[in-house]
Amino acid sequence: MNTETRTRVEDIMSSPVATISKTATVREAATQMREKGISSLLVTATEAGIVTSTDVLDVVADGRDPGEVLVGDVMTAPVETVTPDLFMEEVAAMMTSFGIKHLPVVDDDYVGMVSSTDVAAQLS
């Protein structure tokens, strides 16, 4: 397959990456995700993490108050990352291997986010 016709992460990633503090509440995270129409946020901290809509759903399903639970208590860290020049097939394989649906994109700093929805839309 010709590498010039293959799609890379940089072609479909969402940018800039949406972030939230680990000291924010899960309710704040949910509100931000809804307002931006996204399902994950990069958590800015010494060790970056990710909080997803599934994490929010788990808090609610467990009967915990999303206004009291902190993002840092439910985020996943450390987080797997990809570079902008990676091919979509490689991203799909990573997501399958790790059982994840979101990957922050790093190029010296966090520059975007790619989701399983992005990958599926591109590869279908």
The CATH number of the domain where 56 resides is what?
A: 3.10.580.10
Does 2 fall in a domain?
no
108: alpha, beta or left, given left = phi > 0 and alpha = psi -120 to 50? left
pLDDT in tens, the chain (124 residues): 555 678 999 999 999 999 999 999 999 999 999 999 999 999 987 888 999 999 999 999 999 999 999 999 999 999 999 999 999 999 999 999 999 999 999 998 999 999 999 888 887 7
pTM, 2 dp: 0.88
Q: What is the separation, in whole angstroms, between the first and last Cα of the chain?
A: 16
Does 1 fall in a domain?
no
Domain hosting residue 102, numbered range: 9-123
Does 69 fall in a domain?
yes
Interaxial angle between packed helices 26-36 and 53-61, expressed in degrees from 0 to 180 and rounded to the nearest 10 = 130
Does 87 fall in a domain?
yes
Q: Into how many domains does the chain fold?
A: 1
